[in-house]
Amino acid sequence: MDEEEKEVLFDIRNLKVYYYTLDGVVKAVDDVSLKIYKGETLSLVGESGCGKSTLSLSLCRLVQRPGKIVGGEILYKGSEDILKYDEKQIQQFRGSKVAIVFQDPTSSLNPVFRIGDQIVEAITIHQALKGKEAWKKSYEALSLVKIPSPEDMAHSYPHQYSAGMRQRAMIALALSCNPDLVIADEPTSNLDVTIQAQILLLLKELKEKLGTSILLVTHDLGVTAQLADRVAVMYAGKIVEIGPVEDFYKKPLHPYSKALLGAIPPPHKDVDMLQEIKGEVSSLVNPPEGCRFHPRCEHAMDICTKKDPELIDVGNGRKVACFLYKEGVMK
Amino acid sequence: MIMALKDYVVRRTFIALPTLFAISVIVFTIIHAAPGDPFQFFLGFNPRVSMETIEFLREKYHLNDPIWVQYISWLKMLLSGNMGYSFITHRAVSDAIMIRVPNTVKLVLTAELIAILLAIPLGTISAVKEGGIVDNISRVISLLGVSMPSFWLGILLILLFAVRLNLLPTCGSHTTGMVYSSTWESIKDQIYHLILPAMTLGYLRTAYLTRLLRSSLLDVLSKDYIMTARMKGLKERVVIYKHALRNALLPFVTAIGLAFGFLLSGAVLIETVFAWPGMGRLIVDATFTRDYPVIMGTTMMTAVMVVLANLITDIVYAFLDPRITYD
Ligand SMILES: Nc1ncnc2c1ncn2[C@@H]1O[C@H](COP(=O)(O)OP(=O)(O)OP(=O)(O)O)[C@@H](O)[C@H]1O
Ligand SMILES: [Mg+2]
């Protein structure tokens, strides 16, 4: 995990994404800086509503009204800022550079078109392939995700697929144009446990086979442990800790990360572990002053209630946004 | 596919038969239970017609028989292909209907066509640019359309286009007694007569269909597969007109088909206001004069048309939605 040697695919700098609602401005992503490297699997974890999906959608500029990207830049391969792309450029970028696998495979495929049509549609706009060749490519994509007899299945409609198969088809669609990054936004949370394991295994294999970067958004620290190279922990619109996965599990730095890991229920007990942490999730409309986690933090100090901690480098490719480390209280 | 479709149509037709039977029993019972009979209404106001004459006529037309006897003889006649004869005009009911049906179909289909052609762009733009100018204008138009009684709108249009501007004729389906120099002249005359009633009925339908399409499109636009379509890099135009509209049209098609009955009843008022020689007026006139055979004939004809419309709707729906099969 030597940062300097790896090629940076995405460099997100001071990204701000707000939702303008009647209740006020929801600062779903508030000044987030993050790098995604080529070939890595980065897991984005955090409680429900902390802005994980919003952050992922921003990478395709797919945040919908009333949401808006209000600041920052997203540099693709070190040079181009995708936030400055015009409509045509961003359409060429979507699907071919970044693709997203959504959470619910029952609703992420269009029910009135055949699976093959939906894949072929992506292939024809991004690659110089048409007709038979494009269909052949779609069969390849389906067989890559281990859909049996892809020639037949391509001509079936989503409702003729099981939920697990649909998620495979969705992954095939995402991979069909060889993107640099696949975002999997809780790809298994709507599936049965056995199917979940199969999909995770598939993602693992694909990652090794294709070398595609994966941004894995999840609630499930078990999934993270299995798949990720690095972990980014998000809390109330901010990244509070980021670093290699082994270090994170061995010694989480941020008090919130510790709480997360401490709250892991015994295996196979079907509890949402992130709900176990005491206190209310901080509001994104009127976040608490200072560190957003301080009302729930056991170690909160005076400064935590006043100043917003920045992400600081603590070595070994790890970063944490917490005054305990800045002030040297903890190491 | 074709075989499945054929089977489906046959099956649906058989399913429809009990419905039609039930409708005929109910309507037959109701109209005979209603006070008055054709001869009382027709002749009762005339002091020179004696009670005896009326009684004689009632006997002659079997109106004094028990109602189920009357029903069975009506049904027998119908099954032998005869809809009976009008008590008033003595013309065959089937003839009267055959003259009127094309007029009603012409009116209703034109109105629905106007509505569909207006509602698709209006509803789409209203949903895509929610809260925009088109959305707001179409909201006002729709609200007026939904809350305004159709006959009142009809009268307003007559006042404006016929009386004030003297542009269009006010009644009938063509100019009576006119000799046309060419087929085109005749068609033109008929179109002129069709405009106002079709616009009146079409406006009400536009109001409804626009709102329906708008809300179903808004619903579809929030679906994940729309996000998937955008994520693939499709142009927004393709996302809306291919991925979203195709799904949003499903409830729209159902509404068009199921509304056929509503349209026919709406046509009754419109036909009355514009003196349009359609089924609607035939029904109204027959009801006032208690012309039983005509009421039965027109009601059954209407029921068959509604059943047919529903069947076509279901076939089109199954064609549009792969999740539905003809089983
Ligand atoms: N369309 C929207 N309108 C208003 N607020 C929104 C909208 N979408 C998201 N938000 C708000 O933005 C915040 C972040 O939402 P987001 O969906 O990114 O969270 P998340 O971390 O993905 O949550 P989850 O784990 O439940 O998927 C939430 O507080 C949410 O209420
Ligand atoms: Mg989410």
Neighbours of A59 (CB within 10 A): 24
Of B231, B234, B322, the CB nearest to A157: B322
Q: Is A244 in the pocket of ligand 1 (CB under 6 A)?
A: no
Q: Please, where are the H alpha helices in chain B?
A: 2-33, 38-43, 51-60, 67-79, 93-128, 133-147, 150-157, 183-221, 224-231, 236-238, 245-273, 279-288, 292-320
- Give the Cα separation of A74 and A93 in Å (integer): 13
Ligand 1 in reach of A316 Cβ (< 6 A): no
For residue range B16-55, what is the model confidence (pLDDT) as tens digits? Answer: 899 999 999 999 999 888 877 777 766 666 777 777 888 8
CA B222 – CA B50 distance, rounded (Å): 73
Q: Which of A186, A51, A206 lies closest to A105, judged by CA?
A: A186
Q: Using CB atoms, which residue from B227, B233, B320 is nearest to A125?
A: B233
Q: Find chain A residues with C-beta within 8 A of B224's C-beta.
A: 102, 104, 107-108
Residue A103 alpha carbon, nearest atom of ligand 1: 27
**A21 within ligand 1 shell (Cβ under 6 A):** yes
* Pick from A94, A104, A112: CB nearest B231: A94
Check if A50 has its Cβ closer than 6 Å to any atom of ligand 1.
yes
Q: Report which of A107, A318, A133 is spatially closest to residue A232, judged by C-alpha positions.
A: A318
Task: Determine the topology of domain B100-320 in CATH.
Answer: MetI-like fold (1.10.3720)
B248-282 confidence digits (pLDDT tens): 999 999 888 888 777 888 888 889 889 899 998 89
Measured at the CA of A210, the angle between CA A206 and CA A215, to 5 degrees, comes to: 65
* Whole-number average pLDDT of chain B: 88
B196 CA → ligand 1 middle, Å: 51
What's the pLDDT score for residue B48?
77
Residue B166: its pLDDT value, please? 82
Cβ B42 vs Cβ B289: under 8 Å: yes
CA of A19 to the centre of ligand 1 (A): 9
In tens digits, chain A (331 residues) has pLDDT values of 454 568 999 999 999 999 999 989 999 999 999 999 999 999 999 989 999 999 999 999 999 989 999 999 999 998 899 999 999 999 999 999 999 999 999 999 999 999 999 999 999 999 988 899 999 999 999 999 999 999 999 999 999 999 999 999 999 999 999 999 999 999 998 899 899 999 999 999 998 899 999 999 998 888 899 899 999 999 999 999 999 999 999 999 999 999 988 865 555 545 454 445 666 667 788 888 999 999 998 888 999 999 999 999 998 899 999 999 876 677 6
Residue A115 is predicted with a pLDDT of: 97
pLDDT of residue A4: 55
- Cα separation, B297 vs B23, in Å, equals 12
Q: Is B220 on the interface with A (CB under 8 A)?
A: no
Q: Work out whether strand A238-244 and strand A230-235 pair parallel, antiparallel, or are unpaired.
A: antiparallel
pLDDT of residue A277: 67
User: What single-letter DSSP state applies at residue A38?
Assistant: T
Whether B321 and chain A come into contact, CB under 8 Å, resolves to yes
Reference B232, options A93, A150, A114; nearest CA is: A93
Type of residue found at A280 = E
Q: How far is A191 from chain B (nearest CA, A)?
A: 16
Written as six digits, the tokens of A33 are: 């800086």
Q: Work out the burial of residue B307: count CB atoms within 10 Å of its CB; fewer than 13 is exposed, 13-18 middle, 19 or more buried.
A: buried
| Helices B245-273 + B183-221 axis angle, to 10 | 140
B290 closest CA partner among B37, B52, B42: B37
Ligand 1 centroid–CA A293 distance in Å is 18
Tokens of B287: 């009801």
Q: How far is the CA of A74 from the centre of ligand 2 (A)?
A: 20
Confirm or reject contact between B131 and chain A (CB < 8 A): no
Alpha carbons A95 and A271: distance in angstroms, whole number: 34
Give, for A35, the enclosing helix (H) or strand (E): strand A24-37
- Which atom of ligand 1 is the closest one to the Cα of A50? 21
Quote the pLDDT of residue A275: 47
CB B278 within 8 A of CB B166: no
Cα distance between residue B230 and residue B66, in whole Å: 69
Kindly state if the Cβ of A275 falls inside 6 Å of ligand 1: no
Interface test with A, best of B218, B228, B317 (most A CBs within 10 A): B228
pLDDT of residue A265: 53
B320 and A157 within 8 Å at the Cβ level: the answer is no
Name the pTM for this structure: 0.85
CATH 1.10.3720.10 placement within chain B: 100-320
For residues A59 and A83, is the Cβ–Cβ distance under 8 A? no
Shortest-distance Cα residue to atom 5 of ligand 1: A19
Cβ atoms within 10 Å of A296's Cβ, excluding its own: 18
- The label of the residue with tokens 């993107």 reads A179
Tell me which chain A residue has its CA closest to the CA of residue B248.
Answer: A112
Q: Extract the residue ranges of chain B whose pLDDT is less than 50.
A: none
